[in-house]
Structure 1
């Protein structure tokens, strides 16, 4: 499963221009902003969009992460490990610009 790192804090998982696919977890720090999610891809999707409905429990972890505003919520329970990454700063401009924080 790839990581989906958001750009410009849009959180638009249906728009491939609002996130960047990463093979490894992005560097991040505790904070109130959702930075990235770890999810299955929609099967046979040429744009490799995240399969939110098909990744068990992912929406729960996203909601929990946003509600807490800190920490990196994670689950190691089957059927798949789940993680989200939070950041001290909202995503801005591009992934490269955001990594300077």
Structure 2
């Protein structure tokens, strides 16, 4: 599963221009802004968009992280580990 780091703050995960795909976790962990999610890809999608419905627990983790303003370190929520990374600055201000 890849990491999806947001480029802007629209959280438009259906638009491949609004995120970049990373092979390793970004450095950001805590803060009020959603910076990145760790998710399965939509099967057979040439743009490799994240599969929100097919990644168990991901929406729960996004909502919980936004409410607490902290990323979840990780969870063994079957059948895949999940992470959500938060940032002190908006995603479009994170240094690449």
| CA distance in structure 1 between the aligned counterparts of 2:30 and 2:24, rounded to whole angstroms | 18
TM-score (norm 1): 0.89
Residue 83 of structure 2 corresponds to which residue in structure 1? 83
Q: How many residues align?
A: 95
3-state SS in 1 of match to 2:83? strand
Q: Deviations over 1:37-82 (max 9, x none)?
A: 0000000000000000000000000000000012x21212320000
2-structure distance, mates of 1:98, 1:7: 8
Cross-structure match for 2:95: 99
Q: Distance in 1 between matches of 2:18 and 2:85?
A: 16
Structure 1 unaligned spans of 5+: none
Map of 1:1-101 to 2, 5 A cutoff?
1-70=1-70, 72-73=71-72, 74-92=74-92, 98-99=94-95
Unaligned 5+ runs, structure 2: none
Give how far 1:9 is off.
1.4
RMSD, aligned α-carbons: 1.2
> C-alpha distance in 2, partners of 1:85/1:99?
15
- Find the aligned partners of 1:77 and 1:33 in 2 and give their Cα distance: 23
